[in-house]
Amino acid sequence: MQLSEKGLGFLKKSEGFRSHSYLDVAGVPTIAYGHRILPTESFPDGIAEAQGADLLARAVSGAENAVERLVKVELAQCQFDALVDFVYNLGPRKLEASTLLRTLNIGRYGAAADELLRWDHVGMRENEGLKARREGEFLLWHSADSGQQSAA
């Protein structure tokens, strides 16, 4: 499965594009569409949007692969999109160790969607940006409810 255009649009809107480096909410140097700058990378003159789109495509591919590897139940496209955005934002290890994944893998789709909403903190503090993103993922998850995959 691959991230849909709708999912990609959601991810791009959530991240926003920045041509110069900045510190994300966790204080990590970041550029483009939320790309965490690696110690071996340097962007002293910033980055063009096309270059940022290439970084995004590689990271999305990794997030897609992580969701495919970790999720053991069938997903609707909208659910896959929400999880890819979650993994893109927080990393595969967060999904792998989560109640969200355990709940989903036993077929409790609705309860798994509810778990998305719990990931809105930076440290011990609720973050409005993460809260909005998780609510967006929740809505994306439910955007095309169909049959078994949307059951609680």
pLDDT surpassing 90 at residue 45: yes
Tell me the whole-structure pTM to 2 decimals.
0.92
So what's the pLDDT on residue 145? 55
So what's the pLDDT on residue 138? 98
So what's the pLDDT on residue 149? 45
Going from the C-alpha of 138 to that of each of 25, 35, 128, 131, 133, the distances in angstroms are 21, 23, 15, 11, 9
Percentage of residues of the chain with pLDDT beyond 70? 95
Output the DSSP codes for 114-147.
Answer: HHHTT--EETTEE-HHHHHHHHHHHHHHTTT--G
pLDDT band at 152 (very low <50, low <70, confident <90, very high): very low
d(CA 128, CA 133): 9
Reduce the DSSP state of residue 31 to 3 states and report it.
strand
pLDDT surpassing 60 at residue 24: yes
pLDDT surpassing 90 at residue 76: yes
Question: What domains lie within the chain, and their CATH numbers?
Answer: 5-144 (1.10.530.40)
Average pLDDT taken over every residue of the chain = 94
Q: Which of 15, 64, 115, 137 is catalytic?
A: 15
Beta bridge partner(s), residue 22: 30
Active site residue 15: yes
Residue with tokens 């990393």: 91
So what's the pLDDT on residue 148? 41
Q: What is the pLDDT of residues 95-148, one digit of tens each?
A: 999 999 999 999 999 999 999 999 999 889 999 999 999 999 999 999 975 444
pLDDT band at 25 (very low <50, low <70, confident <90, very high): confident
